[in-house]
Structure 1
Amino acid sequence: MNASAIALMVVSLLLVWGGLGVSIAMLVARPERTEWPDGETGGDEQNS
């Protein structure tokens, strides 16, 4: 592998793992939605 291939691999890995890390951090900070638009309950129930 040449230097440009290694550099591209490092950038790609940082992008993927960094995105995963940010996603996990945001889920830890705000795990559940607390406010819903009018008429929404946030549950999984079906409207019949």
Structure 2
Amino acid sequence: MTTGAIIFMIIAMVTVWGGLAAAIVNLVRHPEASEAEPSPPVEL
């Protein structure tokens, strides 16, 4: 692999894993309200 390819691979990995980490941190700080979810259907 060339140096350019390795640099682009590192940038792509940081983008993907950084986005995942940011999403997890966001969900931990601001969890979704369970009150907004509809109740599960009742089976008869």
Structure 1: state its 5+ residue gaps: 35-40
Residue aligning to 2:37:
42
User: TM-score, normalized by length of structure 1?
Assistant: 0.69
The alignment's C-alpha RMSD in Å is 2.0
Unaligned runs of 5+ in 2: none
Larger RCO (CA within 8 A; separation ≥ 6): 1
Percent of aligned positions that are identical: 35
Q: How many residues are paired up?
A: 41
Q: How many angstroms apart in 1 are the aligned matches of 2:5 and 2:14?
A: 14
Structure ranking higher in helix proportion: 2
